[in-house]
A and B are shown apart, each in its own frame.
Chain A
Amino acid sequence: MKELLKYDFYYLLKTSKFIVFPVVLILIAIMSPLSAKYLNEILAVAFEGSGIVMEFGEPTVFDSYMQYFGNVYEIYLYVIIFVAVGMFIGDKTKGLLPLILSKPINRTKYIFSKFISFGLLVLVSLFIGYFVFDYYTYFLFDEVDMLGMFYTTLLYFVYIIYIISMAMFASTHSKSYILAVVITFGGMILFGLLRVLDPIIKVLEYLPGSILENIINVLTGDATMENILYNILLTLGISTVFMTLSIIRFRKQDI
């Protein structure tokens, strides 16, 4: 396992992902509080003299939180999906896999190595983003809920685990990069749509998609421990199912 992790980290280092992932988050962490603080003023200047009267409230630290997680939830998530799928399926489509698996390498460990190395990169990047965001938010708003942000960063990472496991599942079950990306996005949308049924099937309200709501609730102080716990457990449970299916498939797969 150690040797596979070394190989995967080397890949992440040599293909600049070690730099790109933290840098993207640092940019989001800087831009989010800035735009939350000054967007109102920018818009007011932009519409000045146009006859349109726009009234904005005073920006608060919550605007900064919302802006940050909104960006992380969308922009960063897309980057994660594209890279996670590429990281696994690249070995297959580029023809690297036969030479790798001609050596005494356990296929289960091979999958886990990809999962762990990429997961760790994202986790470290998230915490770099966390520190930068906290600093900038405090700098601009004179306050920041560091503990709340810490919890919500971890909560978001749970969602990332789910996304990476789904990307692994898609990669092991399809032959092309595009198809694997489509399956991952499709899965995400499908699980999102299932939440419509939560008045009938209660457990569906804890599906992975509700993590963003829980992130907001944590920051506004409206979260309940029960909701968060069920949300985390169900998300991790679905991730485990995806990883198990990926391993079962890959262990039997013809290369």
Chain B
Amino acid sequence: MEVIKTTNLTKSYNNVEVLKDLNLSIKQGEVYGFIGKNGAGKTTTINLILSLISKDSGEIFINSEAVVFTDQLYKKKIGYVPDVPVFPGYMRARDYLRYTSDIFDLSKEEVTKRTKEVLEFVDLPNSNKKISSYSRGMKQRLAIAQALFHDPDILIMDEPTSALDPIGRNDVMNIIYKLKGNKTIFYSTHILDDVERVCDRIGILNEGVLIYESNIDDILDNFYSDKIYIETQNEAKLVMKKIVSNNLIKDVTISNNGIICKLNGDIDSNTLLNKLIQLDEKIVEYKKVKTSLEDIFIRLTNERTS
């Protein structure tokens, strides 16, 4: 079942189209990575899904029901985590969660239970401090707590790790990992390592257009790498000199103690390996270089731009 769907969603600001006929389809239970450079239209898409801004044309469906801008009830099924969450500084985490509980009309017992549960889940048990004294990472964890408080089916996260230091980022990623499988997560980001770690499927947005969408494994398979990493007992520079002069490889770069290169013309990897043995190289490591999502992202967005 599709829990979030958009059809031909379009939005312009000052006559500049920032989202062009966006067709998204996110299935129940999956973690969908919504990738794009800054300014690609990711936050605009999320704001449209949450009716924070109005669309120019197209439709948005949540659990197969069309979203009407003035109708807010569909948001009961959604939890939202912004990139830089802002809370009233005079409140404590518990106060904010209680305010959230009022909106969702939870009983007193439920509120007490859920407050404890979610604060423990995001590792924010010391909730007696005022929010104004929280670090960015703590605020982000509180943002996740308030988004999960009413136990929504859908979690929409807008670059939740972009403003965090590596430790804060790791904390947030661990939380998302724990949620995987229990919620449908729409996860917008430009940090591709995070996507590889938690997402089932990704969509790449470039200049308001969804240019690619697929399962993460399929993407890595389809965009295989034709690069090879070679490490021998010899110094990398010497190995490079030797095989370049034999016209076996191209686009060579030195990486750690070895070299990364592409095969030249019709030569396959076995031929190259045999040739290296013939050249008396003692092989330490010889492997295909795994394509990173970053490579694919750069390739796809560059193709599109050019």
Contact = CB atoms under 8 A, between A and B. Distances in A.
Interface residue range, chain B: 20 to 34
Interface string A88-99: 000000111011
Contact of A99 (B53, B73, B85, B104): B85
B90 A15 contact: yes
Given A3-B99, A6-B102, A101 B52 contact: yes
B103 A3 contact: yes
Contacts of B298: none
Given A10-B99, A14-B90, A251-B70, A102 B50 contact: yes
Contact of A14 (B54, B78, B91, B100): B91
A3 B80 contact: no
A104 B76 contact: yes
B86 A104 contact: no
A255 B47 contact: yes
B80 A99 contact: yes
B82 interface: yes
Contacts of A14: 88, 90-91
Interface string B86-116: 1110110001000110111000000000000
A15 B102 CA distance: 21
Contact of A2 (B47, B54, B102): B102
Contacts of A202: none
B73 A104 contact: yes
Interface residue range, chain A: 20 to 34
B276 to A, nearest CB: 58
Nearest to B86: A95
Interface in A85-129: 94-96, 98-99, 101-107
Nearest to B146: A99
B199 interface: no
Contact of B82 (A6, A99, A104, A105): A99
A119 B13 CA distance: 36
B143 interface: yes
Given A2-B102, A3-B102, A107-B70, 20 more contacts: A3-B103, A11-B88, A14-B91, A94-B86, A95-B86, A96-B87, A98-B82, A99-B80, A99-B82, A99-B85, A101-B51, A101-B52, A102-B78, A102-B82, A103-B100, A103-B104, A104-B103, A106-B72, A107-B72, A252-B69
Interface of B: 47, 50-54, 69-70, 72-76, 78, 80, 82, 84-88, 90-91, 95, 99-100, 102-104, 143, 146
Interface of A: 2-3, 6-7, 10-11, 14-15, 94-96, 98-99, 101-107, 251-252, 254-255
